[in-house]
Amino acid sequence: MATSNIVESARKEGRSALTEIEAKQLLKKIGIDTTDIKLARTKKEAVDCAKGFGFPVVLKIVSPDILHKSDVGGVKLNLNSATEVGKAYSEILASARKHKPKAKIDGVSVQPMARPGTEVIIGMTKDAQFAPVLMFGLGGILVEVLKDVSFRIVPLVKRDAREMIHEIKGYPVLEGYRGQEPANIEVLENLLLKVSDYVDKHPEIKELDINPIFAYKDGALAVDARVILES
């Protein structure tokens, strides 16, 4: 499905937010590697998907009305058996319905657990006075706690991407702090350029967050993503 079709499908349903599955489809179309992901509408489908991927797996609630999945108990990590997957499926649905009783729930996504890496974030928001603004920083919960991020106005050139990465205070972490696996800086630069190019050409995208991205010495993998459309 082309990225325009993904957006059009959401619009036809009156939605301004893409599901994680749709967001990852969009990222793959623009050349960004993501974790494989499938939608399960029943407990049996979830178990079958997990067996297909191989354990361990992650389960997450899929709902256009639930953007922050962890806040409603909608995420279960490191599930290592069919029994654990079945239990997690039931618990996720029960918790989501308890916290968001009016939310439309499509099902639960199943995806393989990604190999841990250095977590980074790439985000885009629309500034009231300027063009879209791209953000880069350390990802996961660190972005909320440390707020160690850099910004540039879209469109970016390669020098902009390089500067964004180097100017965060946490840059030594990307170099492999205290024996940790270093991140591939050139890969991260290219990710920034791909996102910049896409949002520059697609004004229908209002907000975009790829968080976390697991950065490795030989690549990078988008683990979660959120896309908001212009009304």
Q: Each residue of 28-46: pLDDT tens digit?
A: 999 999 999 999 999 999 9
The predicted model gives 84-99 an average pLDDT of 98
The CATH number of whichever domain residue 53 belongs to comes to 3.30.1490.20
45 & 101 share domain:
yes
**Residue 75, Cβ neighbours under 10 Å: how many?**
18
For residue 77, tell me if it sits in a domain: yes
222 & 135 share domain:
yes
Q: What pLDDT was estimated at residue 228?
A: 95
Domain count, the chain: 2
212 & 130 share domain:
yes
Closest residue by Cα to residue 126 from 224, 213, 200, 211: 200
88 & 125 share domain:
no
For residue 21, tell me if it sits in a domain: no
Own/partner long-range contacts of 79-83 (Cβ < 8 Å, ≥24 apart): 79/50, 79/55, 80/55, 80/56, 81/55, 82/47, 82/50, 82/51
**What is the band of 196 on the pLDDT scale with cuts at 50, 70, 90?**
very high
Number of helical H runs and strand E runs in the chain? 8, 10
Q: What pLDDT was estimated at residue 134?
A: 97
Say whether pLDDT at 66 is over 80.
yes
Q: Record the tokens describing residue 221, joined without a space.
A: 């993998």
Residues 86 and 144: their CA atoms lie apart, in Å, by 32
Q: What pLDDT was estimated at residue 143?
A: 67
42 & 83 share domain:
yes
* Cβ neighbours of residue 70 closer than 8 Å, sequence gap 6 or more: none
Residue at a domain's end among 64, 90, 112: 112
Lowest mean pLDDT among 78-82, 108-112, 165-169, 174-178: 174-178
84 & 139 share domain:
no
136 & 57 share domain:
no
Burial class (CB in 10 A: 0-12, 13-18, 19+), 88: buried
Q: What pLDDT was estimated at residue 146?
A: 72
**What is the band of 90 on the pLDDT scale with cuts at 50, 70, 90?**
very high
Say whether pLDDT at 1 is over 80.
no
pLDDT tens, 116-133? 999 999 999 997 777 899
The predicted model gives 145-170 an average pLDDT of 93
* Cβ neighbours of residue 188 closer than 8 Å, sequence gap 6 or more: 120, 136, 161, 165, 174, 213, 215, 220
106 & 125 share domain:
no
* Cβ neighbours of residue 4 closer than 8 Å, sequence gap 6 or more: none
41 & 69 share domain:
yes
Say whether pLDDT at 135 is over 70.
yes
For residue 70, tell me if it sits in a domain: yes
The predicted model gives 185-192 an average pLDDT of 98
Say whether pLDDT at 219 is over 70.
yes
Q: What pLDDT was estimated at residue 231?
A: 83
For residue 124, tell me if it sits in a domain: yes
Residues 51 and 56: their CA atoms lie apart, in Å, by 9
Round to the nearest angstrom and report the end-to-end CA distance of the chain.
Answer: 22
The CATH number of whichever domain residue 209 belongs to comes to 3.30.470.20
The predicted model gives 202-228 an average pLDDT of 96
Range of the domain at 218: 118-229
134 & 167 share domain:
yes
Say whether pLDDT at 50 is over 90.
yes
Q: Record the tokens describing residue 55, joined without a space.
A: 């354990």
For residue 163, tell me if it sits in a domain: yes
